[in-house]
């Protein structure tokens, strides 16, 4: 497979704040997920590869062509911005046909492409309504439609699933996969792992402007598994519970919460611990009020990887 988007030693500052730090990355055809918490640098990276920003250091190319101030690349590139913003006083149809004007198509082709894009995102019936009156899901879909209406072979989607209900997410995931099945390139960002998992197995992890890791889902899962998990168990007798786990090799550390009713366990083997916990609780006849995992989120995985 050929390299579609290439970034070499890419860095970007916002004044004194580092937005992206020495990123070198090559993206090939298919779907690549850009995963990172809010403020990780995902949008900065996407703005750099869509020519909305100029790199402070390094280069970025799309199919070997420079991006900054090179409008020609947009003939084959579609971008779906993160923000929920539109020209609100136009209808969905006017929005699409208006933007399609910029590709030099004849009027009939503009109408044809707009109609096709609206049909793809199931908005044909609502095409004559003002965007101001669209629901959040419809707005996300019309935003996606403007990115695909000119039939690009590269699609850059910044948090496209954000704010969608489960049904809306499923629809959009299906559309993105269909797009990829036509042999095109998609870069999609998200801060939610399951969203990216539903789209692709190829993931780039980004945090604090740096690429932490890249690989397929099992590789990322391994990294997540290696991350020591905190599990908090609130019970009637946390000390008795702790006594039962003292000799357990799956546990690295145990502390008691400030309320005196909570045992906080740190373990690398979360599943093994949960397997034993049930048995121990039943054996000792303890009453468990709550089990939670305060750091079971992507942010803590990133923090762990950064520390590593």
Partner 1 sequence: MTASQAVRQVFGFFGFLGRRTGKARVFALLGLMPVVLAVVVRIVFHSRTGPLASVFTEILMVFFLQFYIVILALFYGTSVTAEEVENRTLSYLITRPIPKPAVVLGKFAAYAALMFVLVAVSLGLSYFIMNAAHLADPALYLTFLRYLGVLGLGILAYGAFFTFLGTVLKRAIIVGLVFGFGWENVIQYFPGSTQRFSIVHYLKSLLPYAPEGRSAGKGVALLLFRLEPTSPLLSILALAAITAAFLALACWLFRIKEYLYEE
Name residue 18's beta-bridge partners: 13
Nearer to partner 1, 77 or 161 (CB): 77
Task: Give CA separation, 240 vs 12, 236, 259, 278, in Å.
Answer: 53, 9, 16, 14
Yes or no: say if 187 and 36 are a contact pair by the CB < 8 Å rule: no
74 counts as binding partner 1 under rule CB under 8 A: yes
Instruction: Determine which residue in the list 11, 32, 50, 300 makes contact with partner 1, applying CB under 8 A.
Output: 50
CB of 51 to partner 1, least distance (A): 7
Candidate ranges 49-57, 115-123, 162-170, 197-205; the one touching partner 1 (CB under 8 A)? 49-57
Q: How many CB atoms lie within 10 A of CB 264?
A: 18
102 counts as binding partner 1 under rule CB under 8 A: yes
Candidate ranges 85-93, 213-221, 254-262, 266-274; the one touching partner 1 (CB under 8 A)? 85-93
Number of residues that bind partner 1 (CB under 8 A): 30
104 counts as binding partner 1 under rule CB under 8 A: yes
109 counts as binding partner 1 under rule CB under 8 A: no
Please report, as residue ranges, which positions from 135 to 174 form the binding site for partner 1 (by CB under 8 A). 146
Yes or no: say if 256 and 263 are a contact pair by the CB < 8 Å rule: yes
Residue tagged 């099945």 (tokens):
181
Q: Which two tokens stand for residue 162?
A: 């954000």
What's the DSSP call for residue 88? Answer: T
The secondary structure of 99-164 as a DSSP string is HHGGGT--HHHHHHHHHHHHHHTT-GGGTTSBGGG--HHHHHHHHHHHHHTT--SEEEESSTTTT-
Nearer to partner 1, 131 or 241 (CB): 131
189 counts as binding partner 1 under rule CB under 8 A: no
106 counts as binding partner 1 under rule CB under 8 A: no
CB of 158 to partner 1, least distance (A): 9
Site residues for partner 1 per CB under 8 A? 14, 50-54, 69, 71-75, 77-79, 81, 83, 85-87, 89-90, 94, 98-99, 101-104, 146
């Amino acid at each position: 497979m050929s390299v579609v988007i290439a970034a070499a030693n890419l860095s970007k500052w916002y004044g004194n704040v580092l937005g992206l730090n020495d990123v070198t990355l090559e993206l090939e055809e298919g779907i690549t997920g850009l995963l990172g918490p809010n403020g990780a640098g995902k949008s900065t990276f996407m703005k750099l590869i869509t020519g909305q920003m100029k790199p402070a250091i390094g280069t970025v190319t799309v199919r070997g062509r420079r991006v900054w101030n090179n409008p020609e690349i947009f003939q084959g590139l579609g971008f779906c911005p993160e923000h929920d913003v539109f020209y609100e006083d136009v209808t969905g149809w006017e929005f699409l046909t208006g933007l399609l004007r910029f590709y030099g198509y004849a009027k009939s082709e503009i109408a044809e492409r707009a109609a096709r894009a609206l049909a793809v995102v199931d908005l044909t019936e609502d095409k004559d309504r003002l965007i101001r009156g669209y629901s959040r899901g419809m707005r996300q879909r019309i935003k996606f439609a403007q990115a695909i209406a000119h039939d690009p072979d590269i699609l850059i989607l910044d948090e496209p699933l954000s704010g969608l209900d489960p049904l809306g997410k499923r629809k959009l995931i299906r559309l993105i996969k269909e797009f990829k099945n036509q042999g095109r390139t998609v870069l999609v960002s998200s801060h939610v792992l399951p969203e990216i998992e539903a789209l692709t197995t190829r993931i780039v992890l980004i945090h604090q402007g740096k690429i932490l890791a890249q690989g397929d889902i099992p590789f990322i899962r391994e990294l997540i598994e290696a991350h020591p998990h905190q599990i908090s168990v609130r019970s009637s007798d946390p000390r008795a519970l702790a006594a039962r786990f003292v000799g357990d090799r799956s546990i690295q550390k145990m502390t008691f919460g400030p309320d005196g009713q909570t045992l906080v366990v740190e373990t690398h083997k979360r599943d093994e611990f949960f397997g034993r916990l049930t048995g121990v609780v039943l054996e000792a006849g303890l009453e468990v009020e709550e089990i939670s995992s305060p750091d079971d989120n992507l942010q803590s995985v990133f923090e762990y990887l950064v520390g590593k």
